[in-house]
Amino acid sequence: MKKKLLSILLAGTMLLGLTACGGNSGSSAPAPAPAASASASAPAESYDISTLEGWGKAMKAQYDGSSITVAMASHPSTEAFQTMSDEFTALTGINVTWDIVEETNLKNKQLLDVQGAGNYDVMMVDAFWMSEYASKDVLIPIGEYAADPEKAPAWFDYEDIMPAYRNGIAGANGVNYGIPTAGETRFIAYRTDLFDKYGKEAPKTMDEFLELAQFFNGKEDGLYGVSMRAQRGIHFASGWMSLMYNFGAGFLDQTTLDGGDVVVTTNSTETKESLQYFVDLLKCAPPDVGTYTHEEALGAFISGKTAMWLDATALANQITDPATSSVADKVAFVPTPTGPAGDGAALAGWNLGISAASKNPDQAWAFICFMASREKCEDYVLAGGVSTRNSAFENERLQAANPSYPAQQEALVAANGLVEKGLSWIPQHDQINQILEIAGAYGSSALAGDITVDAACESAQKDIVDLIG
């Protein structure tokens, strides 16, 4: 989950979600040729769009020489899409101009564009922004395209997108506005050599997870039980949310977000229990865990300092890569453990959506349909993209490249438990960033021992109520 993974999981929001990496670059296609006359082109119905080649001919007949502009984050998935761009243009005749922006600035540029010039056609949108984008009518509902077999041929395969992503990160208020193209949940990596040596099994419940962290903490010289993100503010809130919902906890009552007065639940019994658990767990981490983002948490595990790690699935390839990890050949993965309230693992990621101000919405959809299709999924992942598709996790070639794929697929099934409860991992409130900053600040103070867990939750409750009114 980017080097600032998946910087919710993200400046601000992306700290919670996908951990991006890659440089601050941008590129543009050559100036497009004059657009062909729509009236002179052959109708799409005269081509067999059930194949990628036939679909390409239909697109070219209608849109040859036209151009779209895509606004995307500097991210591995963007780099993967760029490697596919020439093929898309050759197939469809649609030229692509790329505006690649650091994720900290992307949201503001998109909002300004949709309110003004309307230059953007395709937008790469963080799941955390969906609630605000929906309220401001930034994107076209994607179902108008994805549910239409004349616009989304079988080789696109909308249903192949993992349900956790399709239903959990792509929209707001029951309406989907994007196609998930890079996603993550969170799961546990553990040292198989240590677990075998001491006759331990991977945790299945939150109680077992804490017991194992306490067992391994100090068991050998320089060894700690677990590593997680816990830096003051959003990073702490993000780590806390990795297990919060498994206790039935939450910062807000999400059933009250559709209108009326929002009920804040940061001082609920369940939320206090989840924070106490998180603080107890972090006592089994390296002593500087209070400064950890996802990068430091990962570094502690791959250097062999901790027996376990809980964080973004998007980081797994760094754990299994011998070039970056000292534990690559002695690691395994399991989903986030079940808690007293069941499963509820993290869900975060990126979508491709069509700007409501686009002057070329059909060409924008053609770009999304091609780039995010099942047909092109293997090429996308091998080029560095982060897949959201079931078929990718079951692809033997991709499994060989990323041995964590079966565990990721299992973790996403567990994460869908949250979706089935009607909950969003990131509550869909326009002020969610400020809410998480508040909760993460007080939680960090509880970890440091400056205040009690009870006081942290009560103080956060008051400040969040004051914030949202």
Query: What sign does the CA torsion over 143, 144, 146, 148 have?
Result: positive
Q: What is the pLDDT of residue 104?
A: 80
Q: Where are the domains of the chain?
A: 12-184+348-404, 186-344+431-468
Average pLDDT for 166-191: 93
Q: Indicate whether 9 pLDDT > 70.
A: no
Mean pLDDT check: name the lowest of 7-11, 212-216, 219-223, 388-392: 7-11
The span from the CA of 129 to the CA of 132, in Å, is 6
Task: With beta carbons less than 8 A apart as the criterion, state whether 181 and 77 touch.
Answer: yes
Q: What percent of the chain has pLDDT over 70?
A: 90
Average pLDDT for 338-359: 93
| Equal fold, 12-184+348-404 vs 186-344+431-468 | yes
The single residue listed with the structure tokens 């992942």 is 381
Q: What is the CATH number of domain 12-184+348-404?
A: 3.40.190.10
Q: What is the pLDDT of residue 420?
A: 86
Q: Indicate whether 148 pLDDT > 80.
A: yes
Q: Indicate whether 451 pLDDT > 80.
A: yes
Average pLDDT for 134-140: 95
Average pLDDT for 420-432: 86
| Residue-averaged pLDDT of the chain | 89
Could you please report the per-residue DSSP string of 71-87? EEESSHHHHHHHHHHHH
Partner residues linked to 389 by β-bridges: 161
pLDDT interval class at 387 (50, 70, 90): confident
Give the CATH architecture of domain 186-344+431-468: 3-Layer(aba) Sandwich (3.40)
Q: What is the pLDDT of residues 252-265, one digit of tens each?
A: 999 998 777 999 99
Task: With beta carbons less than 8 A apart as the criterion, state whether 237 and 439 touch.
Answer: yes
Give the residue with greater pLDDT, 347 vs 237: 237
Q: What percent of the chain has pLDDT over 90?
A: 77
Q: Indicate whether 79 pLDDT > 90.
A: yes
Q: What is the pLDDT of residue 18?
A: 41
Task: With beta carbons less than 8 A apart as the criterion, state whether 183 and 165 touch.
Answer: yes
Q: Indicate whether 429 pLDDT > 90.
A: no
Alpha-helical runs (H) found in 372-426: 377-382, 390-393, 396-401, 405-420
* Residue 328: both structure tokens together: 């690559």
Q: Indicate whether 38 pLDDT > 80.
A: no
Q: What is the pLDDT of residue 372?
A: 98
The span from the CA of 405 to the CA of 382, in Å, is 13
Query: What sign does the CA torsion over 419, 423, 426, 428 have?
Result: positive
Mean pLDDT check: name the lowest of 25-39, 138-152, 324-338: 25-39
* Residue 443: both structure tokens together: 């939680």
Partner residues linked to 184 by β-bridges: 348
Average pLDDT for 52-56: 96
pTM: 0.79
Give the residue with greater pLDDT, 279 vs 29: 279
Q: Indicate whether 34 pLDDT > 80.
A: no
Q: Indicate whether 366 pLDDT > 80.
A: yes
Task: With beta carbons less than 8 A apart as the criterion, state whether 350 and 126 touch.
Answer: yes
Nearest to 217 by CA among 198, 238, 241: 198
